[in-house]
Amino acid sequence: MDLAQADRLLVSQPNNNNIQHPLAYVKGCFALIKSMGDNGITIRDAHEGDLSAILDIYNYAILNTTAVYSEQPHTLQMRKDWYNDRMKNKFPVFVADTDGEVAGFSSFGHFRAGAGYKYTVEISVYVDGPFRGKGISKLLVQSLIDRAREMNVHAVIAGISADNQISINLHRSLGFEEVAYLKEVGYKFGRWLDLKLFELLLNNTPGIT
């Protein structure tokens, strides 16, 4: 992956196991808005009208990068199902909005099935090409971290392809630490891919939601 590709789509796709999540959604009924100053970009909660743009960004990742290990583009219905599952489980989906245009998106979901993982989530973040280098991905990830704290999440996981150094640097700058290196677990573009797992531990208390 070259630098432009890595900066375009940052980080991996979370596990989408369809299980009920027991975490309470404390403040998520209000749209999250964070200004990016003079650049005119805000981070807000996504709505169904954003899904076409989200789909375009995600499919670019599938077809052109190792940010996602899938190979077949998704359909709009698949994105709708994904979004509805996030909403049902009270997980966040954020978009970076610039004058009504979606510049990127981020979300988190279940890390693994099983009640024992209920305080752990896996995040994903993607930024569209024309908006690279504006700090959008950092805002999108920070918004996920803030929401995770509100939801009493303890462990935030990011699975990042080992060739995506920009995403690795981004997550390290936000306090994530590398905790695992999985060799040749993916295969795409005719080559084996290594996956790194990064973790951010939040100072939350089990049972307090």
Of residues 25 and 72, more confidently modeled: 72
Residue 101, in any domain of the structure? yes
Structural domain that includes position 146: 3-201
Query: pLDDT tens digits for 28-47?
Result: 434 445 545 446 889 999 99
Residue 207, in any domain of the structure? no
Residue 50, in any domain of the structure? yes
Mean residue pLDDT across the chain: 86
Residue 128, in any domain of the structure? yes
CATH number at residue 155: 3.40.630.30
What is the count of structural domains for the chain? 1
Residue 13, in any domain of the structure? yes
Count Cβ atoms below 10 Å from residue 121 Cβ, excluding itself.
26
Residue 209, in any domain of the structure? no
Residue 206, in any domain of the structure? no
Supply the pTM of this predicted model: 0.82
Query: pLDDT tens digits for 79-131?
Result: 999 999 999 999 999 999 999 999 999 999 999 999 999 999 999 999 998 89
CA dist 170 → 23, 135, 205 (Å): 27, 10, 27
Beta strands (DSSP E) in the chain are 34-35, 41-45, 93-98, 101-110, 120-127, 155-161, 177-188, 191-201
Residue 138, in any domain of the structure? yes
